[in-house]
Amino acid sequence: MKEHKRLHAGLFLLLVSVLVSTVSTGLYAQTADTFLIDDFSRQNRKSAIGTGWQKITDRVMGGVSEGSYGFFEIDGMQCIRLQGRVSLENRGGFIQVSLPLYEESGSFDASGYRGVRLLVRGNGERYYVHFKSTQTVFPWQMFSAGVPTTGAWETVDLPFERFAPENLKADSLNVRRLKRIAIVAGEKEHTADVAVARIEFYRF
């Protein structure tokens, strides 16, 4: 009888340890090693953290770049796809899809993670991931890291230390106070076509 009780107690503790090792966001469980930002599987098009993607182009600053985005199934995977034409005219030069990392005026603490990981496919151009944090006050300020692409799906890891400040004086990204993440086509004139099937924070 005592052995039976000890067995039940052991199973209970194992179950508790499994539950503690995951963090649940809605219906989507996070593992101890990753935190899912989005895998584009939800019918309501909300991200795994409950916020929605938004398109932003240089037209908000007088540029003439054109872009669109949508949710597609490519090679059997759900993804977000950004397409368009990047122009440097009128001091422009970008199109992007951007996601708030926290509702309203808060911020996201990613200090427990090493960086951000993407499952991405492009048309051979170099794309970018941008972070906004409480350090970035103006729209033209961000932390940026490049993402090379090919015509095949590839997993790309971007450690936080790879994100360089642009148009602001800061030594490094404050990962404790992240506000937004964006997938960006820019820097030069080109036809943009990039898809992301999964994006997450990773520890290892």
- Domain contains 62: yes
Residue 46 forms part of a structural domain: yes
Residue 91's pLDDT band (cuts 50, 70, 90): confident
Residue 16 lies in a domain: no
DSSP letter, residue 52: B
Identify whether 15 is part of a domain.
Answer: no
Per the structure, the count of domains in the chain is 1
Is the pLDDT reported for residue 46 higher than 70? yes
pLDDT at 61 (0 to 100): 86
For residue 139, give Cα distances in angstroms to 55, 71, 106, 132: 14, 26, 17, 9
For residue range 61-85, what is the model confidence (pLDDT) as tens digits?
899 999 999 999 999 999 999 999 9
Q: Which domain holds residue 173?
A: 23-202
Q: What is the pLDDT of residues 152-195, one digit of tens each?
A: 999 999 999 999 999 999 999 999 999 999 999 999 999 999 99
- CATH number of the domain that 75 lies in? 2.60.120.430
Helix (H, G, I), strand (E, B) or coil at 112: coil
pTM equals 0.83
Look at residue 92 and tell me if it is in a domain. yes
Q: Is residue 18 part of a domain?
A: no
Q: CB-based contacts of 28: which residues, under 8 Å, 6+ apart?
A: 36, 39, 48
Rounded Cα distance, 197 and 154, in Å: 10
Residue 5 lies in a domain: no
